[in-house]
Amino acid sequence: MPIIVNLDVMMARRKMSLNELSEKVDITLSNLSILKTGKAKAVRFTTLEAICKALDCQPGDILEYRDSDVNQ
């Protein structure tokens, strides 16, 4: 998938655990884990907003687009 989720990178930079983020964002560990591993098919803007607020970051710090058709 060309959308890469860098949630683990931002969590490491902020020294925040999955449990702590789950509590701050009020999302289940299971759903947060699905998002973190890039297996989520969608994310609500309200969830993205809450994550950005908790991690003090921008959506672009968490989500990245990589064109899979480009030869690397």
What pLDDT is stored for residue 68 in this prediction?
A: 76
- Position 2 scores a pLDDT of 87
From 48, 68, 63, 53, select the one nearest 16 (Cα to Cα). Answer: 53
Q: How many H helices and E strands in the chain?
A: 5, 2
What is the model's pLDDT at position 67? 85
> Tokens 């921008």 sit at which residue?
58
> pLDDT class for 1, splitting at 50, 70, 90?
low
CATH number of 3-65: 1.10.260.40
What is the predicted pLDDT for the residue at 50? Answer: 97
Each residue's pLDDT tens digit, 12-67 = 999 999 999 999 999 999 999 999 999 999 999 999 999 999 999 999 999 999 88
For β-strands 63-65 and 3-5, DSSP reports them as: antiparallel
